[in-house]
Structure 1
Amino acid sequence: MDMKALILFGHGARDSRWREPFDRLAGLWKTQHPNVRVELAFLELMKPSLEEAITLLADDGATDVVVVPVFFGQGGHLRNDFPVLLSDCQEKFPGMALSATPAVGEDEAVLQAIIEFSARAL
């Protein structure tokens, strides 16, 4: 039986407080979808890395992992670095199905949520 899991993938930063919204996002996921495991992962400067997060999920029996880049757009990191990282992980975990969504900031519903947030500020 396939075990699905999710990785919320962010850039990372030197300031540990930058991570707080990601921790809240993962907490909301766990509350709303308690039957689907979620992990955070970061491109640089923070732990866990994408490979480390996938290892945690593989150790728990995950067989189908979707990586959600929590980036505003598809910049150089997502166009160049991320596909290489994901491909390397697929080679290291050949029994696991790994896939990725576009950057969250490219989704119409996310953009609309930003519009609504901005409108509340007026």
Structure 2
Amino acid sequence: MSPAPAPAPALLVIAHGSRDPRHAATVHALVGRARTLRPGLRVETAFLDFNTPTVAQALSSLYLSGVREVVALPLLLTRAFHAKSDIPAALAESAARLPGLSVRVADVLGPSPLLISALERRLFEAGLTPADRSTTAVVLASAGSTDPEAIAAIAETAREWRRAGWCAVRPAFASATLPRTEDAVRALRAEGYGRVAVAPYVIAPGRLPDRIAAGAEASGADVMSAVLGAAPELATLVLHRYEAAVATPALVPALTA
């Protein structure tokens, strides 16, 4: 009789966390959607701050249940400070305390065509149609970062989305760098664009997404879409990043006690 195949590594989705209860609820909804797409795969959630379980608590729980291989996935759209520093440090500290635990780190979610599909889904849900692409300018409004790699990735996403047929797509930021959402909307108006939509490039509600919404309202944006949330494209992308980490372990950071 052939030995039973080894269980697939568990997936630990690591979100930022927020004092705003909508944040954790949205993260749990997204993770739940990913879980339904892969029955039998152990999928858990952890948070860097404000919410529980923490990374250490989630890894300890997985370990005590017999899990020895984990793929940790940063629920982030760009590789900024949290992806480069906070998450690896939290994982390394926990792995050092759990003998025999192997943790591989998947890539962040962005950039990806699936994210652009999710952004368009939210704009269409807000009232636009595919036919509106050629007459609508879009502000791609992110939370913001001081990391040049993250800023460049958002700018590239805007350029890539523009190729889908929108008459303009401009990045904006709720913090850390400029322009702000309201400034980007006003600049597009000044350039002669008659319809301007704001698309939050954020996963879950919270203080910075609320700032994006306030800027859109203050500047008179015509359309304001919802955050990406538990969009099916994001759930699929989470699993794509997991599968890539499992298939190419030599190409991702590995932490083994």
TM-score per shorter chain, which class? Answer: 0.7 to 0.9
- 1:39 paired residue among 28, 41, 44: 44
The superposition leaves residues 71-93 of structure 1 with CA deviations (integer Å, 9 ceiling, x where unpaired) of: 12112122121111111122112
Distance 1:95 1:3, change over 3 A: farther
Secondary structure of the 2:100 match is coil
Residue identity matched to 2:23: W
Contact map agreement 2:68 2:100 (CA 8 A) in 1: yes
AA aligned to 2:107 is: P
For 1:110, the equivalent position in structure 2 comes to: 114
Q: Residue 196 of structure 2 corresponds to which residue in structure 1?
A: none
* Structure 1 CA distance for aligned equivalents of residues 102 and 78 of structure 2: 24
**Correspondence for 2:100 among 95, 100, 104:** 95
Distance in 2 (CA, whole Å) between partners of 1:79 and 1:38 is 22
Name the aligned partner's letter for residue 25 of structure 2. Answer: E
Bigger relative contact order, structure 1 or 2 (CA pairs below 8 A, ≥6 apart): 1
Contact 1:41 1:48 in 2 (8 A): yes
| Off by >6 Å, runs of 4+ in structure 1 | none
Distance 1:45-1:16 versus aligned 2 partners, 3 A rule: same
SS in 1 for 2:88: helix
Q: Which residue of 2 aligns with 1:55?
A: 60
RMSD: 1.8
How many residues are treated as equivalent by the alignment?
121
Higher CA-based Rg = 2
- Are the counterparts in 2 of residues 11 and 44 from structure 1 also a CA contact under 8 Å? yes
Give the drift of 1:13: 0.4
**Distance apart, 1:119 and its partner CA:** 5.2
Aligned residue in 1 for 2:32: 27
Q: Distance in 1 between matches of 2:119 and 2:16?
A: 23
Task: Choose which of 64, 83, 97 in structure 2 pairs with 1:78.
Answer: 83
* Residue 2 (structure 1) shift: 4.3
Change in 2 beyond 3 A, CA 1:101/1:3? closer
Q: How far, CA to CA, are the matches of 1:30 and 1:111 in structure 2?
A: 19
SS, match of residue 21 in structure 1: helix
Task: Report the TM-score, using the length of structure 1 for normalisation.
Answer: 0.87
Percent identity of paired positions between Structure 1 and Structure 2:
28
C-alpha distance in structure 2 between counterparts of 1:17 and 1:109, whole Å: 26
Please tell me whether the aligned partners of residues 48 and 54 of structure 2 are also in contact (alpha carbons under 8 angstroms).
yes
Determine if contact 1:12/1:45 at 8 Å carries over to the other structure: yes
Separation (CA, whole Å) in 1 of partners of 2:20 and 2:123: 29
